[in-house]
Amino acid sequence: MASIHFDQIGKTYGKPPKDNTVIHALSAEVRDGEFVVIVGPSGCGKSTLLRMVAGLEEVTHGQIRIGDRIVNDLEPSQRDIAMVFQNYALYPHMSVYDNMAYGLKIAGLSKDAIRERVHKLAQWLELQTLLERKPGQLSGGQRQRVAMGRAMVREPQVFLFDEPLSNLDAKLRAQTRLEIRRLHAELGVTSLYVTHDQVEAMTLGQRMMVMNAGRVEQFGTPEEVYNRPASLFVASFMGSPPMNLLRQAPGVTSGRVLGVRPEHLYLSDDGWTVQVETLELLGAERLVHARLGSESLTLRLPADQAAPGPGEHCRLAAPPDQLHWFDAATGGRVAA
């Protein structure tokens, strides 16, 4: 296993004056054995960063170290990493066993050593009854487990995951997330996992790197990122529904933005007067969408709690310690 160090990493395509910088002087450390999720919207640079670690993209500026080695100029095969892609990338003419064993054969391991590793990992991944099948005979979830097995069987220093669950349905995604967490707990291999799905980020990551426009907006535990977002972008991106961000609510001064999560608002005898627009029933909870002057906000209530109907007025309040303040110009978090 090994840590990953990013030292002022930059990535630029093209040449001036038509150059396009997609990663801006990024510095961070992924600790030895840590599972870090890189999350952000499409185009933020997260997959580019992962591909730079893998050696599939050149580094324009700065250094990447895996363990004590600078890997900028090393070929992917020399970096002791394994990567799981979104599209599985399995050999269709090979059996599950041969797909998982292929990299070990290339590395020159004996047949007995290969058989032991493949069967051990196949049992962990519940693939032992599928080893003779071809990828075309498998479901999407099974193919993804084979792709993970092919990467893990090599026992690399670092695992790289590039949106590996995006082709699965919601139930399979949830199941496979649990499998990935279990495997990381057992193997303890340093892992970088790219996703645009905040649920995956919150449930998988020991720490999260939230990216926006090629920069890291916040790097912390899921609890830190959710409970104390470092910027307006993080506050609006993390959370479903996202944090309410209010610029014209009573008590909000010019140049500041007030943030409050939907679950921290409650019906009150005093507070802000809002008009309800629509209700959404989501099983165990209900979302109340309302307007506060010219701004919209969302309140999250238990489904069994009485809620005002569309067109009705009500008052909302929030605990002072659950209010978040941001600078309207810079987007950064500021003290109350």
The predicted pLDDT at position 233 comes to 97
pTM, entire model: 0.90
The one-digit pLDDT tens for each residue of the chain (336 residues) are 799 999 999 999 998 889 999 999 999 999 999 999 999 999 999 999 999 999 999 999 999 999 999 999 999 989 999 998 877 788 999 999 999 999 899 888 999 999 999 998 898 888 999 999 999 999 888 888 898 888 888 889 999 999 988 878 888 888 888 888 888 888 899 999 999 999 999 999 999 999 999 999 999 999 999 999 999 999 999 998 999 999 988 888 888 999 999 999 999 998 999 999 999 999 999 999 999 999 999 999 999 999 999 999 999 999 999 999 999 999 999 987
**Non-local CB neighbours of 209 within 8 Å, separated by 6+ positions:** 28, 36, 37, 38, 39, 216, 218, 219
Q: Specify whether the CB–CB gap between 298 and 244 falls below 8 A.
A: yes
Q: Record the tokens describing residue 175, joined without a space.
A: 């199941």
The predicted pLDDT at position 70 comes to 97
The predicted pLDDT at position 219 comes to 98
Amino acid, single-letter form, for residue 70: I
Q: What is the pLDDT of residues 34-68, one digit of tens each?
A: 999 999 999 999 999 999 999 999 999 999 999 99
Q: State the DSSP H helix or E strand holding residue 113, giving kind and residue range, or none if neither.
A: helix 111-124
Q: Where are the domains of the chain?
A: 4-230, 241-334
The DSSP bridge partners found for residue 161 are 84, 193
Give the integer Cα–Cα distance in Å for 234 and 82.
30
Architecture of domain 4-230: 3-Layer(aba) Sandwich (3.40)
Give the integer Cα–Cα distance in Å for 101 and 153.
8
Amino acid, single-letter form, for residue 318: A
Q: Specify whether the CB–CB gap between 179 and 125 falls below 8 A.
A: yes
CATH, range 241-334: 2.40.50.140
Cis peptide before 135 (omega within 30 of 0): no
The predicted pLDDT at position 165 comes to 86
The predicted pLDDT at position 167 comes to 79
**Non-local CB neighbours of 91 within 8 Å, separated by 6+ positions:** 98, 99, 102, 135
Q: What DSSP state is assigned to residue 112?
A: H
Q: What is the pLDDT of residues 237-293, one digit of tens each?
A: 999 899 999 998 888 888 899 999 999 999 999 899 999 999 999 999 999 999 999
